[in-house]
Amino acid sequence: MHPMLNIAIRAVRKAGDHVIKSLEKPQSIEVANKGNDVVTNIDHEAEAIIIETILKSYPDHCIIAAESGTKEGRDKECQWIIDPVDGTKNFVRGYPHYAVSIALRMRGRTEVAAVYDPARNELFTATRGAGAQLNSLRLRASQPRDLTGTVLATGLPFAAKQHAESYLKIQNALFVECDDMRQSGCTALDLCYLAAGRVDGVFKLGQKPWELAAGELIAREAGAICADFTGNTNYLTTGNIVAGNARVVKPMLAKIREFGSDALAK
């Protein structure tokens, strides 16, 4: 196993255990607004656990964290991207669908990823070029021939409501072609579920890098392809992602081009 994946696994498990344990005293969970989203003291505490775990082994590495921002290290080629609780809105409502997400990028490429769902004790991992696993079992994404019979994971663009009209047009066009859709509120798990064959495709817009970085590597290592809304691979920058096998991604991109606004084509 990649030594840095070992550290990622240790960090997501420690943070996930803290998140789950916090539910034993729900009165101690403090919720605050964060732009269009929410944040809790548990997010901050879990993030601190992750950062401490990483820097204990790699003190010179850089950190990009959802809550505390960027921490510059001396080693500019190694960058950890952290989301301590992806799906905080679910977490604060007692909806058990959220995850701890960690990715390591080296020289601009994502090398290792770990996504931990503490509610189900499911650990999704990947190392670039070595495949993806769920609790150490190899994952393979589904291989549908087209959109017929597929289940697509998506999400309403609460953080990018200026695109709501275009999004709903795209969603409607895709819904006519596919079998069903899921809106789970956790992008990291959407991509991991794609890797596990639980859904057949993912399309989301307005995402942050820490919501995408780990899950997209896990999806790709399970055989999916990931693209932005123009068909390129700038989804960590644009925040817009389409993922699945080629026969799913191609018609999804066609619907996005047909029904999306010009602003989404950037």
Q: Is 86 annotated as a binding residue?
A: yes
Q: Is 83 annotated as a binding residue?
A: yes
Report the distance separating Cα 263 and Cα 33, nearest Å.
Answer: 27
CB atoms within 10 A of CB 124: 30
Binding residues for Mg(2+): 83, 86
